[in-house]
Chain A
Amino acid sequence: MSEAPAAPRTVSADIGLLLKPPQPRAGWRLLPARVVAMCAVELQKLSHDRTELYTRAVQPALWLLIFGQTFTRIKAIPTGGIPYIDYLAPGIIAQSAMFIAIFYGIQIIWERDAGILNKLLVTPTPRSALTTGKAFAAGVKSLIQAVVVVIIAALLGVSLTWNPLKLLGVGVIVILGSAFFSCLSMTIAGIVLSRDRLMGIGQAITMPLFFGSNALYPLSVMPGWLQAVSKVNPLSYEVDALRGLLLGTPAHLALDFGVLAVAAALGITAASSLLGRLAR
């Protein structure tokens, strides 16, 4: 027995709004809107699955617990009179934020492979705004990680400031640092174009960036060549600012902020110019 042909499907729901294009944002309001959109996505993803947040907390906890406590007892590293674990904590906050950001390019390559990046590039979003949005989204992700490390450090007895203004400054510095490192990662992604190559390069540069900074020891104990490396390493400026804000040690806050802001801007420019290569 043959069935009667089904009636063509029609849209029964009210779709009045879908007939009217939205009013375009223009000028300066476009960039913050895109940054908010990208940051909202990161927060939504974290709210659905916090596994990464917990697993990423293990390594900084071990650094503070084992390395920090042991070197506090040894007293081998000059820290200007504060316990070594206190000295180390801002370095580990910067490190854990950097570790998240430096592999952000892998997410971009995954988004390229999944078609998400192409779809975003076909929206009225300039490439620089998309990169800035992604950079700040990495910053938000890193900031949440930084909060976890601050809590671990506080539980381990590190004397941190609870001054809200200084904590706000910490947030700004972590976001700027992560914006730079995520853009560095997206720039490399735009050059190498493959996940495997990016993984290899990411792993190759992460440790030199970390050990070639003042995260574990002060500049004064480094050999001359390493001091030179440290001075061009944005992570050193991030750590210096975090130490100054969280512990009250002497820091060059204006210089640190300026270097990180310029580095982030350069990173956004470089990553934006290479984003098109990923779309091809």
Chain B
Amino acid sequence: MTADAVSCTGLDYAFHDTKAVDGLDLTVAEGEVFGLLGPNGAGKTTAIRCITTLLPVPAGMIRVFGRDTAEDAMAVRRLLGYVPQQLSADANLTGRENVTLFARVFDVSRRERAERVAQALAAVDLTDAADRLAGTYSGGMVRRLELAQALVSAPRLLILDEPTIGLDPIARTGVWEHINAVREATGMTVLVTTHYMDEADQYCDRVGLMHRGRVRALGTPEELCRGLAEKRGTDTLPTLEDVFRDVAGSGLEDEGGDFRDVRSTRRTANRVG
């Protein structure tokens, strides 16, 4: 039996008195594209940070391919490719240098480093721009560069935190097409957070709708939409956004996200232009 890519059991995380993640139970199967959806402040990014070992959690709460993140963090990190919400490529380095840094810190041997970096850049169609400074890239190109940085270590689990935030529709489609193409070619598992319901509907095999630190609904986009249609007794199939409104409510009093969340989101959106 193969282990699930991610398994969270009763995951809790609090910042001082504020519970960001509150008893999260979540399983991501190997090879699937799983979307963790929710508004700012739902706890998506905190959950991702716990899974990526950035935030300390007690043993027994998170396993990645069977390895406990608390007990074997280094082994878990070797299985991960991580693209954070911010535009995290270094603008003062070329595309190739950005990817080479991650090849080095993942111990790619000198013998195969240049070729592996070239393959990662080619996989996201950045070969021609590889020797330009990343500061000259468009927002969509930077996202693809970050994808190349994550791919260079051959991760089994790719984690993307709001990968298309601030991008125009064409660039968003471009980024998703590259994510899908790379997944097709490598068979890796993808865990992605987004608050764009249309993207989740189109690109995710399964989604978890998160609100106030918990997953409130879980399934394929179609299952969730059909479930709501049955609940309402209508023939018209609702959208994923309708499902989300149903589980989370839509009042202004439910708006989430602290100052830091919003600032980070806006900063990323500004940088991608």
Contacts and interface: CB of A to CB of B under 8 A. Distances in A.
Contacts of B94: 44, 48
Contacts, number: 143
Contact of A45 (B78, B93, B102, B149): B93
B122 A8 contact: no
B105 A124 contact: yes
A171 B212 CA distance: 54
A17 B107 contact: no
A196 interface: no
A9 B178 contact: yes
Contacts of A124: 74, 77-78, 105-107
A33 B107 CA distance: 8
B54 A41 contact: no
Contacts of B106: 22, 123-124
A116 B90 contact: yes
B177 A8 contact: yes
Interface stretch (B27-35, B179-187, B214-222): B179-187
A33 B101 CA distance: 11
A125 interface: yes
A212 B172 CA distance: 56
B77 A15 contact: no
B104 interface: yes
Given A9-B178, A17-B112, A22 B107 contact: yes
A123 B185 contact: no
Interface stretch (B3-11, B80-88, B247-255): B80-88
B153 A114 contact: no
A45 B103 CA distance: 17
Given A11-B123, A13-B119, A15-B123, A114 B107 contact: no
Given A9-B180, A113-B267, A21 B153 contact: yes
Contacts of B151: 18
Contacts of B267: 113
A40 B104 contact: yes
B180 A8 contact: yes
Interface in A104-141: 113-116, 118-126
Contacts of A8: 177, 180-181
Given A19-B186, A124-B107, A113 B86 contact: yes
A45 B92 contact: yes
A164 interface: no
A184 to B, nearest CB: 24
Interface string B145-165: 000010111110000000000
B58 interface: no
Contacts of B103: 22
Most chain A C-beta atoms within 10 Å of own C-beta, residue among B94, B100, B104, B178: B104
Interface in A84-98: none
Contact of B154 (A19, A115, A280): A19
Contacts of A48: 92-94, 133
Contacts of B85: 115
B193 interface: no
A10 B182 CA distance: 8
B115 interface: yes
A34 interface: yes
Contacts of A119: 82-84, 88, 102, 149
B211 interface: no
A18 to B, nearest CB: 5
B97 interface: yes
B77 A123 contact: yes
A10 B181 contact: yes
Given A21-B78, A124-B107, A115 B153 contact: no
14 contacts: A8-B180, A9-B181, A13-B119, A18-B116, A18-B120, A20-B154, A22-B103, A23-B109, A24-B107, A25-B107, A40-B100, A40-B104, A45-B93, A125-B105
Given A114-B90, A124-B74, 19 more contacts: A9-B180, A10-B185, A13-B127, A18-B186, A23-B107, A23-B109, A33-B104, A34-B105, A37-B104, A45-B90, A48-B92, A48-B94, A113-B86, A115-B87, A118-B82, A118-B88, A119-B102, A123-B153, A124-B105
Interface of A: 8-11, 13-25, 30, 33-34, 36-37, 40-41, 44-45, 48-49, 113-116, 118-126, 276, 279-280
Interface of B: 15, 49, 52-56, 74, 77-78, 80, 82-88, 90, 92-94, 97, 100-109, 112, 115-116, 119-120, 122-123, 127, 133, 149, 151-155, 177-178, 180-182, 184-186, 267
